[in-house]
Amino acid sequence: MTIPLNRRVLFVDDEPNVLSALTRNLGGSFEITTADSGPRALDQIASAPSPFAVIVSDMRMPTMDGAAFLAKAKELAPTSTRLLLTGDADVKSAMKAVNEGHIFRFLCKPCPSEVLGAAVQAAAEQHALVIAERDIMERTLSAVVKTLGDVLSLAEPELFKRATVVKSYVSYVVQQLGMEGAWQIEVAASIHTLGLIALPRDLAHSSVNQAPLTVEDKKQLATHPETARRILEAIPRLEDVALIVAQQAEEPEQGPDWVKRGARLLRLCKRVDSRVTRGSSLGEAVDSLLASVGPEEQTYLEALKAMYSGQMECRELRFRDLMPLMVLEADVKTRDGALVLPKGHELSAVLIERLRQFAASRRVDEPIRVRIPPPKRLRPGP
């Protein structure tokens, strides 16, 4: 597999002539940015439109030494590979920084340009590997959890039908706005009702059917986000997903800013869905909420408007022509009236195959009506 190489490098040194020499010697192979102090470099990292592949710092600098700077840089840009340039007298400090996990490699000054160039190249390749591994892991986790949601929807379509609709709203907003933590927010939305499986079946179904509840029923129902959190946080790398799910009700917010935003988006999309369930169209539900929410939520609602503004083409298709990411425009039911998949459900390869099996057994009529996302999002089905 060919891994694209990010060649953006940040050099930090308090000596202007050193920075000039580094830029002159390596500027032909890398996209160089320089800073003359740790604090200025941190500002550049924070304001950069995308992470630097490599961050190289001198050890001895006023205000903030190289080890302290790289430790801070790790917090701001955890995927950037960090190198430390040090004189002989600072070797012990450099080794301490290596052992504490702050840097990839340290080099002794003066460092020949060919040695530094090779080290920066290796660091850029390390950054590419880290990014590739992270992306593969995120896609794998996202696909596994999405498949879990699909299985739950097939096993209990009435119980999980609203979750699939809410997830489609959340996914659309996340993709329209390019939100940080996109895959975690989407995964949280797809399984935010997971905790319902621990409740008595009648109570769980009454929650999605909006049936009248007693005070005791409401207390028991309110436990399902925490139940889902306990299930999810035991899975490595789903801790933030668990935190978003746990905050799907109106509760004090916890976690990084993007987790809080994800929880707010999930809560908002649940409110939209509640209005749709009571008979409003998606457009009416969005418009009715615009005046009663804050600026952030208004941004989400404006993005959601595109789902009903005609930007997604509606068409009737046979099951053999369905593709993942298409969205059901109407409930799919068997000929005897049993719900197979609800309106608003985003199709996956697993669900398309299931629909084709129903069609083969002549238990479901086709064609069905679906919304079709932009061509760049579609991918072939099974």
Q: Is the model more confident about 327 or about 309?
A: 327
Percent of the chain with pLDDT over 90: 25
Average pLDDT over residues 20-49: 91
- Residue 374 reports pLDDT greater than 70: no
pTM of the model: 0.60
- Residue 309 reports pLDDT greater than 70: no
The one-letter amino acid code at 13 reads: D
Average pLDDT over residues 83-87: 85
Residue 310: band (very low, low, confident or very high) from pLDDT cuts 50, 70, 90: low
pLDDT of residue 185: 93
pLDDT of residue 379: 46
Average pLDDT over residues 167-172: 88
Average pLDDT over residues 34-40: 93
- Residue 263 reports pLDDT greater than 90: yes
Report all structural domains of the chain as residue ranges with CATH numbers, in order of start.
Answer: 8-130 (3.40.50.2300), 156-307 (1.10.3210.10), 312-382 (3.90.105)
Residue 158: which residues within 8 A CB-CB, separation 6 or more? Answer: 205, 208, 209, 339
End-to-end, the C-alpha distance of the chain in Å comes to 23
Q: Is the model more confident about 349 or about 188?
A: 188
pLDDT of residue 124: 92
* Cα maximum dimension of the chain: 82
- Residue 334 reports pLDDT greater than 70: yes
- Tell me the C-alpha distance between 340 and 358, whole Å: 9
- Residue 78 reports pLDDT greater than 80: yes
pLDDT of residue 207: 63
Residue 10: band (very low, low, confident or very high) from pLDDT cuts 50, 70, 90: very high
Residue 89: band (very low, low, confident or very high) from pLDDT cuts 50, 70, 90: low
Mean per-residue pLDDT of the chain = 83
- Tell me the C-alpha distance between 263 and 191, whole Å: 13
Tokens matching residue 303: 């993005």
Using an 8 Å Cβ cutoff, are 312 and 371 in contact?
yes
Q: Is the model more confident about 311 or about 187?
A: 187
DSSP letter (8 states) at residue 6: P
- Residue 1 reports pLDDT greater than 50: no
Which of 2-6, 142-146, 294-298, 361-365 holds the top average pLDDT? 294-298
Average pLDDT over residues 20-42: 91
- Residue 269 reports pLDDT greater than 90: yes
pLDDT of residue 13: 93
- Tell me the C-alpha distance between 340 and 368, whole Å: 12
pLDDT of residue 364: 87
Average pLDDT over residues 83-112: 75
- Tell me the C-alpha distance between 84 and 98, whole Å: 9
- Residue 250 reports pLDDT greater than 90: no
pLDDT of residue 381: 45
